Chain A
């Protein structure tokens, strides 16, 4: 029994039953398949997380995002007063997370590729793009540059999904994706 010392003193030389050995082999090979799958997706798949990352002072990031908004502001989101920045196709888009908002609202064109710069000004936040369901962790002091291509037009929401204090559930943002040439 499993509560007694092994029956055979030299238990490590006992033969292993064939069925058990087969299962070990199957399980091992399945592990190799799953391991290779991740590497293969880096080579052939189109959804891989960027590793382009910079250390940045939160104040510097804030001033960059503000300059970006000044350059590209095309209006405000409804009555909220939150600026909407229309990003030139293929250009750099900035979004910052802070207690408790994602700022600003971005307008992108469907099918175009953008460099999206993310960072936080205070605590950690979670960039959860819904309903697409892309989820990325955002840290203060680190600028993460993603290359991303929206493939659907519509209004998408950014929900904060890293707990960030008592206003966490109010922390949202928005990305508008428009058909090419219909912006504004």
Chain B
């Protein structure tokens, strides 16, 4: 990796704004750096709040503990969704956008004042929506389905937050334009920036959908509009709700590539294929609103089949491609670095004690195996009849959004701390264990929620013993066991999450400053002691040998196919209906 490229050359006035990163040789704009820090800090604060609320939810659903009363439970569940799913992730994504544009492209950030305005709007919106929920009259869940009504402040807070996020997207787009105009890079934008670009494009669509539905709903809560159609609300709301998860996917896939590149020097096996996969996200992910409408009255079967499958699974194809090209790029890089023995030496001797790499790889595996497969099954039109609104749904999205996105963002934080905050990561031993503890915890909660959902247990439900209900019902004992295990693993995940917050906050506040020669703990992992002869230019056809990756994707594919058809078998045993 290049060391400091001395001399910024040219415009002396601009030079004051930049420093040169001793590790990557990238020019870092001071304004971009401060904004990345601000957004990342806000993100971690909301993660801490959201995570804490999450364990309260899990400990209530563990019927043996049943921590909270019903009012508090529904309030806390609403707040958990908003803080963990929306605020933490979007704040972090804004940081990723600024990093992927200004820093990676060696450019200055467009309109830093606008970026600050965006930040302030997002913070004000975030506080407003939390305040509204805490008042107790807006326990409407993250989804706020009409005709259930929250207080106007709830919708207004969400709108302000979304407007802020939209401005941040345009700062990102502006930075791309500036970088191109000022020729801060040559050729096409790097893959990581390309991934961030797809995330930002999807974000614009997402926020537009949010505006289309939340503004009328806000006016309805004030009494200016009499009626909001409940099916229409869901259709458009999920244009925001589901598409925003696709922002996450694009962003965390970009982060996977980023970590692979910085830690191992990995480069895409094929630029073309990886970029087309991102393009599939942009083109097809938005119609996934249908995933939430599969057992809804009033929509045709044709509409459901086409939309739920992202037009013949083309967005799934995108993810399956990344699922191969990311480990493939890592295997190629590792082999080039000398780990060439057998099928799996590259994986065995990967830098597992580097939390950035470990978190990234665990995120990849859990996202694919747990989140990806369960998502496709959940999104098959008829199979959804067995799963809609059961715990299968949160089981699925905790695998995608927590084990996938959140873990990937945690992982990249271990690079952001030394490179952007320029602090040595404190408590390196805790940091080393953190991704594993968090990943095991989240994998457990996802699995046991998927299991409980398969047994029919309802999501968003305070008491599955139905002790206050006129007509009782007994879920099978296994369901209660699943919820208890879910609670235990949620505690483990919380420990992992708390370690992350502690390491991050301590490092930002008290970490030793990184010197001009770069961080003491090297970012990039050490190559094999005896470096084999360079494989040459492995980015092209003919020189590529990736047996380990092929074994991994074969295992994945077999698991996928088997699980998919097992569910159709279950479906065939249901009462016939038409």
Contact = CB atoms under 8 A, between A and B. Distances in A.
Interface of A: 1-9, 11-12, 14-20, 23-24, 26-28, 30-32, 34-35, 37-39, 41-42, 45-51, 53, 77, 80, 82, 101, 105, 122-124, 126, 128-144, 146-152, 157, 159-166, 168-174
A154 to B, nearest CB: 12
Contacts of A173: 471
A48 B230 contact: no
Contacts of A170: 466, 468-470
A20 B324 contact: yes
A17 B458 contact: no
Given A1-B266, A122-B147, A23 B553 contact: yes
A137 B295 contact: yes
A140 B463 CA distance: 25
Interface stretch (B5-13, B124-132, B380-388): B380-388
A17 B301 contact: no
Leading 10 A-B pairs by shortest Cβ distance: A31-B313, A157-B473, A161-B458, A144-B297, A2-B257, A27-B320, A46-B576, A1-B261, A161-B389, A5-B187
Given A2-B329, A20-B269, A37-B380, A149 B576 contact: yes
10 contacts: A5-B187, A9-B186, A12-B272, A14-B540, A41-B381, A82-B471, A122-B147, A133-B390, A172-B469, A172-B472
A48 B260 contact: no
A48 B541 contact: no
Contacts of B140: 163
**Majority SS of interface residues in chain A?**
mixed
Given A5-B190, A20-B328, A159-B458, A134 B575 contact: yes
Interface residues of B, number: 107
Contacts of A169: 70, 461-464, 466, 468-469
B317 A27 contact: yes
Given A7-B537, A151-B575, 11 more contacts: A6-B190, A31-B312, A37-B380, A41-B571, A47-B572, A133-B574, A142-B231, A151-B576, A165-B148, A168-B74, A172-B472
Given A35-B312, A35-B313, A161-B458, A26 B557 contact: yes
A130 B508 CA distance: 51
B563 interface: no
B376 interface: yes
B541 A18 contact: yes
B202 interface: no
A131 B573 CA distance: 12
A14 B272 contact: yes
Given A3-B261, A161-B389, A14 B458 contact: no
B317 to A, nearest CB: 5
B332 to A, nearest CB: 10
Contacts of B576: 46-47, 148-149, 151
B522 interface: no
Interface of B: 24, 70-71, 74, 104, 139-141, 145, 147-148, 185-192, 230-231, 257-258, 260-262, 265-273, 294-301, 305, 308-309, 312-314, 316-317, 320-321, 324-325, 328-329, 376, 380-382, 384-390, 455-456, 458-464, 466, 468-473, 475-476, 537, 539-542, 544, 546, 550, 553, 557, 560-561, 564, 568, 571-572, 574-578
B341 to A, nearest CB: 20
Contacts of B476: 131
Contact of A172 (B269, B462, B466, B553): B466
Given A34-B309, A142-B297, A169-B70, A16 B386 contact: no
A162 B145 contact: yes
A140 B456 CA distance: 24
A128 B273 contact: no
A20 B270 contact: yes
B473 A50 contact: no
The interface centre, meaning the residue of B139, B460, B468, B470 with most chain A CB atoms within 10 A of its CB, is B470
A34 B192 contact: no
A26 B539 CA distance: 22
A143 B456 CA distance: 24
B397 to A, nearest CB: 16
Contact of A46 (B147, B187, B321, B578): B578
A24 to B, nearest CB: 6
Given A14-B272, A133-B574, A168 B187 contact: no
Given A20-B324, A170-B470, A48 B298 contact: no
A110 B291 CA distance: 32
Contacts of A6: 187-188, 190-191, 271
A139 B191 contact: no
B37 to A, nearest CB: 20
The interface centre, meaning the residue of B192, B258, B265, B461 with most chain A CB atoms within 10 A of its CB, is B461
B147 A48 contact: no
Nearest to A148: B577
A24 B321 contact: yes
A123 B321 contact: no
B390 A3 contact: no
A29 to B, nearest CB: 10
B313 A9 contact: no
Contacts of A101: 470
Contacts of A17: 269-270, 540-542, 544
A82 B470 contact: yes
Contacts of A50: 577-578
Contacts of A46: 572, 576-578
Contacts of A15: 540-541
Given A27-B321, A47-B576, A136 B388 contact: yes
B390 A51 contact: no
B328 A171 contact: no
The interface centre, meaning the residue of A6, A8, A101 with most chain B CB atoms within 10 A of its CB, is A6
Contact of B309 (A5, A38, A124, A150): A38
Given A161-B458, A170-B466, A132 B541 contact: no
Contacts of B462: 168-169
